[in-house]
Amino acid sequence: MTPPSRISPLALVGAALVLAAGAATATAATAAAPAPVPDPEGPLVIAVESPQSGDQASNGLDQLRGVQLAVRQANAHGGVLGRPVRIQRADDRGDADRAKAVAQGVIAAGTGFVIGPYNSSVGIINLPLYRGNRVLPMWNTSRDDTRGAGATVQPMNSQIAPIAERYVEAARLLAALHAAPWAAELPLPGGATHIVPPFDRPAMLVEVGLLLDWYVPHATGHPAPGGLRDAFAATWNALIDRLAQAEQSIVLRDYHSPNLIWRGERAGLDRLGLLDFQDAMIGPAAYDVASLAWDARVDVEPRLSAAVIEAYAGARGERFDRAGFEEALAIMSAQRNSKILGIFVRLDRRDGKPQYLRHLPRIRAYLRAAFAHPALAALSALYAEHGLLDEATP
């Protein structure tokens, strides 16, 4: 579909340990004063630069723990090329103002290899310092102007874009899933039964309520007032009423690029592998189509969204209720993207993950696209009245 937004720390370190063994002899693109030469018989030192404290510490510490685990495993088997591996922590707090000092500390220690930095704003400053001082980086930044000597497993921004063929094929796979019958009760070994829960009115209302609880205070600066809550509940209940006749099927819930694996060596629908379906429910079939056509993690242009919808509808056959599907699709897109606005703000405020806020403009644009359907006129007016989709919102 698209490359993943971040690579697992263990996968990162697997490549890093091999590269680190030769890092001391790496040549830089720019001549500079030589750094201290590491002891060729001593430990192999790898710096790990990331935000290990501050607002983004959860990301940096996850990466650091992955490196620590991989290093323990490597050392338990004799290290790398017979040398034990040691970690040098380099905490930049995700702060560009700290970047130069952190890089200088790594360079002064004579370390020949660094995993990081994590943030592009930091990398713009300190990656040239590393490269100019014979410190080989394996960087995790995504801005194109941070590329250069070293290695990365993080795609650059210019490489991150939806691949139309894969999205269209994923739509056809959904059509095949929805054409099959799905029972709410699934037999398990030993005589047990798994009940697939319904994605029904209570579940939908709980999810859209996240917009009121988290996004509205973020967008307006104050909690959602009682009048908004009352109008919100009434409007959403009316929309959910309209789903009574919508086709019901398996709903995988996060049917978008991070959970779709492209296997190009195979043929047909078998080219797609699915992840993250453990929370599947039975609900409106249009939900997963909305999840794919308006992918929360990557910009999907209107033309590709339309191609996804056409591929799905075309694969459903001549008897498919296109008009009913398109109404359910608009409602489900509005429901999902309203929920996501709340979730992404919650990830920032509660979980210390501000990077999710960068997705908000995309999600607001997807909501405006959904509001083009006449069935959502009242919801569109309500959101507009309270300025919930204003692009001045951070």
pLDDT exceeding 90 applies to what percent of the chain? 66
Question: Which of 116-125, 144-153, 371-380 has maximum average pLDDT?
Answer: 371-380
Among 7-21, 312-326, 366-380, the range scoring the smallest mean pLDDT is: 7-21
Name the band, by pLDDT with cuts 50, 70 and 90, for residue 157. Answer: low
pLDDT exceeding 70 applies to what percent of the chain? 87
Q: 292: which 2 tokens?
A: 């794919």
Collapse the DSSP code of 251 into the 3-class scheme (helix H, G, I; strand E, B; otherwise coil) and give the result.
strand
- Is the separation of the CB atoms in 216 and 223 below 8 Å? yes
Beta bridge partners of 97: none
The CATH number of domain 164-385 is 3.90.1200.10:
yes
Residue 373 is which amino acid? Answer: H
CATH 3.40.50.2300 residue ranges of the chain are 9-158
Give which of 371, 375, 364, 373 is closest to 342, Cα–Cα: 364
Name the band, by pLDDT with cuts 50, 70 and 90, for residue 9. Answer: very low
For 261-295, the pLDDT digits (tens) are 999 999 999 999 999 888 999 999 999 999 999 99
CATH 3.90.1200.10 residue ranges of the chain are 164-385
Question: Starting at the edge strand that comes first in sequence, how are the strands of the sheet with 113-115 ordered?
Answer: 85-91, 44-50, 113-115, 136-139, 151-152
Name the band, by pLDDT with cuts 50, 70 and 90, for residue 145. Answer: confident
Name the band, by pLDDT with cuts 50, 70 and 90, for residue 144. Answer: confident
Q: 271: which 2 tokens?
A: 């080219």
Residues 168-181 as b or e (16 or more Cβ within 10 Å = b): bbbbbbbbebbeee
For 127-142, the pLDDT digits (tens) are 999 999 989 998 888 7
Collapse the DSSP code of 48 into the 3-class scheme (helix H, G, I; strand E, B; otherwise coil) and give the result.
strand
Res 243 pLDDT > 90: yes
* The CATH number, out of the four listed (3.40.50.300, 3.40.30.10, 3.40.50.2300, 3.90.209.20), of the domain defined by the range 9-158: 3.40.50.2300
> Whole-angstrom distance between the N-terminal and C-terminal Cα of the chain?
28
State the pLDDT at residue 32.
Answer: 43
**Distance between CA 285 and CA 301 in Å, rounded?**
22
For 175-220, the pLDDT digits (tens) are 999 999 999 999 999 999 999 999 999 999 999 999 999 999 999 9
Q: 338: which 2 tokens?
A: 């309203």
For 58-95, the pLDDT digits (tens) are 888 988 998 999 999 999 999 888 889 999 999 999 89
Res 5 pLDDT > 80: no
Collapse the DSSP code of 49 into the 3-class scheme (helix H, G, I; strand E, B; otherwise coil) and give the result.
strand
The two beta strands, 193-195 and 185-187, are: antiparallel
